[in-house]
A and B are shown apart, each in its own frame.
Chain A
């Protein structure tokens, strides 16, 4: 074993001799040290650029250029990996410095001879000797950890571990110096050098609990340990466990207080998401939408200006429109997603944060040896639950039974039962249209590395998801992203740049067939397609499958980038600015070619080209100052502003009547006018500018990580309001008290290792109305008069429109037991929304049916959230950890002055949740008559069918039952098991709420033509005295009215409580020893599945999307994760 000693530089002491000791290389080293430090004397420049070369070759090249000779042990050098090298006009020692240390090698130069040897240094000097330290950092599994920073406390000397987890410090002179070893997600370690002996072995400990997980706030980061606000963070590791396409799908059930509902399983469909309940009445399909910020750039809220047309037999369900802007963000590029919920966390977003904030941070470059990691997977998606429909025999039986019940003969028009359609023909329409197995492929790669002063990340991703519906369409998207972080050596100036460019091509049929009556056609109905794939019009005057012939192609390009700037002129003061830019532009074509139409009719082909774009610019300058205030206090003052400029436009050209289908791709190809003079080509353009400006101030004071106080204030302006109401002021206060740090606590409960109480209170606003709602506007159009154009008022002014008011209060308790084995986080929240911007129904005397106003109603949301995580078994090679969360939300309409006079919605009831509906009181199926009965407001039972029965139900007064559609509770339960490098994650979500049941979502019941009401129908009433819950088969007018009553009654609703195995992930890491041989850093293979199992009594429909369309898909994938 060789032990090297390190010499003090001669200028430090001037005297080396005394430090030289013992071993055979002593003398040599003394000279080496001096030579090394004065290397310039010998310098000769080297120019060398090579890739993937052996050290041997490098040395021989240097020998050639400089005349130096290299000495080394062959077995030492040949074991070293090949390297990439790029040298320009550098000296020999500069050249060697560049790559040797990374290989744990060092060198000495004697005369013109270079001696290469391994680093192995032993400290054996006098106490005050300046020293270099060498060491290795290992993770919890004893694997080397690259990229760990080793800092000399109180200085700006920072060193980073290499690929092998090794580091060498610079010369440290202070014998009392302290080394700080830190890495995100791990506990920081501090050690005094005086206690160290080279070589050092540091073993990093995983951050003991979630408490130290980094949480991103509006203008900085924090940890759960001290944060007075309520932030839930989900990191990349967690996200990677799910094969979900949209990040919202993945975080569903993982965030207490955030309700996520997938509206349809079709990729690209919108989500209904609410953070802490529905806080406003309306504002589009999905009210109270949280603000989504990605790397500082605000995502466009609301639906994208896509084009919708109800051509053919398809009418797009309102719920399925608009997609979701997050769909263009591949979850693989996300580092963490942070959900900000309470006043302290959100109020800094002022107006925009009233309904919660979702902050998404993309992956960033990390210091360390450059690493390439590739994650690829491939799998299948299949449709989720779908009703089991009747077979032909059952269908015909019910149809015939209906005829008998109605006492009518089978008519000539009853093709399904009069013999025109064969009784032995069977088609499962729902399977035909939505039952395909669709391939999903995903691959993403990241290349990242650098040092603390300059690091980078380059990534690329590609996804391909075919549709489970009939047709060949798929959504394919790919993107590249990068991140550059740079800091000057003196750490005064730091600049970061991130960019993400993605392109998505969607040519799947833009309809959800599951939402269409096509699914319920008679099972013996004639085929909708001919053998050659064209539509069969022979037996159909209208063909429900015409939608499959629609040409659709939507290419969306999304560019977002953020430039960050941080300048620290003096200690504590930091000037920061970030500029974000996002451009989402799309070209969408929707055309109905000849194949769409019945050739026997006079049809006109049509095509629309919709070009739209959403552009956002966000500029956020701010100044922050941190200082010690009193011995243990840290004061941080931050002030700044936000300027946000968003511009959305679309330009649509529609052409009709093309000479050839080949022309459909350019709608302007259509003849401008028809022979009759009608216009064939029309264009439409609209734009929505939206600007927002805000100023904020934050004062936070932290006393010894024990008492933390945050004060936020914000002054915001929005172009959504008229001049006098543009600005609003919002503020919040938050405090936390880590009482486990109190001296009296420590002895009190030794089992509790950490305890924090927190509270926050604050206000925020909302500007969720359409642009220009405050001014009166005119549109060109309407009826021309005397051949002159007309201007039609489209909106009347409401200059009084102003900010919504949202007040939030929150209290929380965070406890950690047994040093992090169990963590419990409980919160209570309470929010009040006033002055909501709602479309108020107006009497026609105003000239309008509805206009946005600030409603006088007061809505209150409150609830409890509980999160528990535990490390059940952490002994040995087997670990088992669990996390559980549950939310118990409540929602009430607490006040609505004038509600008795001003009925904006029949379903609003004082003291009831706003997500609810008033319905007739369902009284079951009358055992004598077999028809549905209801109880009217006077308590009298009857069937109350219109026209058929003498008495009918009043559409307002007889709705005596209130169905609460607010979720009663929801949450998730996850378990992670790992044994050595095999790990398994199982995640369940659960929800309890009311929803329309299968019969309640059909317009007709058993017995009607082309109505296949699933196996439920077999329970129908058949003979007097029979007690059942499905009415008799019928197809007459009375039956139609019976169903219209039923659909508006409590019978149409059932409790949709379900638990779902929403995610399963099994991964196996190939042992390091094997990988070493093939120079692979890490390799793991995994199997993932989502929506694998649903446990529910709800019945035929999916209890999540409640029948609005294709049920959430089941996904099975297998993939591998490789790091080079």
Chain B
């Protein structure tokens, strides 16, 4: 076969021409492939150009936590832990979820949602941290970054306390996240403390609002002391007594910002403007603190006896749970005046179901910390000054500073109208503090479970309590931590279920 060289030449010439055209097109093709950013969304970088937008990413997390029933109402961690431990008696036996918590038989379907929720928020938080760090156009960069770091620590704190070993997430890259496994508790705390330290260094002493402006009254975003307060808690939970004491001292000594209310004002602790509040969540829109519906719900002090044919309303038809006898018994009286603990008087309410024929009268007691159905009257208090005194008392007691510890306990007891504590040695002091925490923080934010466990009292208390509950189930040590979602075990390469489940 003979090829005519003339053909070849022509072809090469034409090919060269075509090639040139291609190169010209290639040069501009990158530009041709530019498309506008989404119209209903903004690209991540766009969220960190202005302060309002950056704050809005934190608003999203605060808003989600506030609206998620995580901290208020009949689905909250306070309610669940109350049922789970020895604080609440389940009235709503039709609720399989409530029954599962009450009988300590929760399954992954029960424990999973909260785990997923926290990680959903963490992924948002990590995006904010990455975005704000990379931005150089923000006026209040420190504030937004500090808030996000605080949130990261805060969420991890709840994860490690509810589920034990937890996944530490410090990136938004899901390709990394999807393969992570659970880290030992100590490592999670390390991350919490590192984040809080950085948050503390970034946040201002004052409270800011969503535009970065200092606000005098609204404590709904964390400030420097909120970071310190959480840090104190983290140190306490990890047994770092020295730092726990130091941090709580800083918060307590913050001057006029935080003040324990007078005994006479103890029913005002949870009001929006309470000076005891270090950090609280502001209910959204027309909502109010949903503990109201969980425990109060316009239940009259005396339930009316129904006249047929109307059905009688029972306690159960108003609220989901009442206080246990053991909790009620934990409240002391002033040994001198024999007057009740003011917290028993103002934070607990009762309702009587009168005798009806052969059925005897019945009185039940309910948490009454939040009483208002007026939007914005009460904030969801996450951290308050009383806790810092009790953290310092415990840290001091553990460091054998018994007088210091007693001093702090007594400040709280005085506020409650009680006589000073009689504890003198470390075990007694710790016991006194544990009881003080029990009556101070009942049904609040899961304190009881965490306190019992970290002081080594959980099994003993629960083995007793489970009998009192009469649910027919028994307590098992592995139930100190909750199970995670079953789906996560299937989709997460390295995730394992909480031991025992």
Contact = CB atoms under 8 A, between A and B. Distances in A.
B281 to A, nearest CB: 8
A11 interface: no
B67 interface: yes
Contacts of A695: 22, 25-26, 29
Contact of B3 (A630, A685, A692, A796): A630
Interface in A824-858: 840-848, 851, 853
Contact of A719 (B22, B35, B57, B285): B35
Contact of B120 (A643, A787, A844): A844
Interface stretch (A171-179, A198-206, A422-430, A898-906): A898-906
A641 to B, nearest CB: 5
Nearest to B495: A843
Nearest to A800: B175
B252 to A, nearest CB: 27
Contact of B123 (A630, A775, A846, A903): A846
Contact of A778 (B1, B44, B55): B44
A786 B178 contact: no
Nearest to B53: A791
Interface in B2-57: 2-4, 7, 10-11, 14-15, 17-19, 21-22, 25-26, 29-30, 32-44, 46-47, 52-53, 55-57
A692 B46 CA distance: 24
Contact of A783 (B60, B119, B487, B491): B60
Interface in B43-91: 43-44, 46-47, 52-53, 55-60, 62-64, 66-67
Contacts of B403: none
A48 to B, nearest CB: 50
Contact of B22 (A639, A779, A796, A846): A639
Contacts of B1: 630
A628 B10 CA distance: 11
B44 A777 contact: yes
Interface string A539-581: 0000000000000000000000000000000000100000000
A719 B30 CA distance: 10
A623 interface: yes
Given A641-B22, A691-B32, A785-B284, 14 more contacts: A623-B17, A629-B4, A629-B11, A641-B25, A771-B35, A772-B38, A778-B46, A778-B57, A783-B64, A793-B44, A796-B174, A842-B177, A844-B119, A844-B487
B169 interface: yes
Interface in A147-174: none
Contact of B32 (A693, A697, A779): A693
A623 B18 contact: yes
Contact of A847 (B123, B282, B285): B123
Interface string A766-786: 000001100111110011111
B218 interface: yes
B175 A785 contact: no
Looking at A573, A630, A786, A787, the one whose CB has the most chain B CB atoms below 10 A away is A786
B221 interface: yes
B35 A783 contact: no
A796 B34 CA distance: 20
B66 A785 contact: yes
Contacts of B495: 843, 845
A904 B492 CA distance: 10
Contact of B59 (A643, A687, A718, A788): A788
Contacts of A283: none
Given A625-B14, A842-B174, A778 B42 contact: yes
B29 A717 contact: yes
Nearest to B485: A844
A686 B491 contact: no
A726 interface: yes
Nearest to B2: A630
A793 B39 CA distance: 14
Given A695-B22, A846-B178, A847-B122, A791 B47 contact: yes
A851 B172 CA distance: 13
Interface in A620-653: 623, 625, 627-630, 635, 637, 639, 641, 643, 649
A685 B39 contact: yes
Interface in A780-817: 782-798, 800
B420 interface: no
Given A693-B29, A772-B41, A798 B60 contact: no
Interface string B350-368: 0000000000000000000
Chain A, interface residues (CB within 8 Å), range? 35 or more
B442 interface: no
A898 B47 contact: no
Interface in B449-501: 485, 487-488, 490-493, 495
B211 interface: yes
A786 B210 contact: yes
A789 B11 contact: no
Contacts of B67: 783
B326 interface: no
16 contacts: A573-B14, A630-B2, A693-B29, A778-B57, A783-B59, A785-B220, A786-B62, A786-B210, A789-B52, A793-B44, A798-B175, A841-B491, A842-B174, A843-B491, A846-B178, A901-B493
B399 interface: no
Interface residues of B, number: 82
A681 to B, nearest CB: 18
A635 B36 contact: no
B204 to A, nearest CB: 16
B60 A791 contact: yes
Contacts of A846: 119, 123, 174, 177-178
Nearest to B176: A846
A853 B25 contact: no
Contacts of B19: 639
- Listed from nearest, the 6 A-B pairs whose CB atoms lie closest are A847-B123, A783-B63, A843-B492, A844-B116, A776-B44, A788-B210
Contact of A788 (B25, B56, B127, B178): B56
B127 A637 contact: no
A629 B35 contact: no
Interface string A655-697: 0000000000000000000000000000011110111110101
Looking at A639, A845, A847, the one whose CB has the most chain B CB atoms below 10 A away is A845
B115 interface: yes
A775 B44 contact: yes
Nearest to B62: A785
B209 interface: yes
Interface string A1035-1076: 000000000000000000000000000000000000000000
Nearest to A772: B38
Contacts of A792: 60, 124
B381 interface: no
Contacts of A787: 210
Contacts of A684: 40
Contacts of B56: 788-791
A1041 B380 CA distance: 43
Interface in B97-141: 112, 115-116, 119-124, 127
Contacts of A643: 32
B167 interface: yes
B180 A785 contact: no
B108 to A, nearest CB: 12
Interface string A873-901: 00000000000000000000000001001
B491 A685 contact: no
B246 to A, nearest CB: 31
Contacts of A689: 35-36
A623 B17 CA distance: 10
A685 B40 contact: yes
Contacts of A782: 60, 63-64
Given A689-B36, A693-B32, A785 B41 contact: no
B11 A637 contact: yes
Contacts of B491: 840-843, 902-904
Looking at A798, A800, A841, the one whose CB has the most chain B CB atoms below 10 A away is A841
A793 B35 CA distance: 20
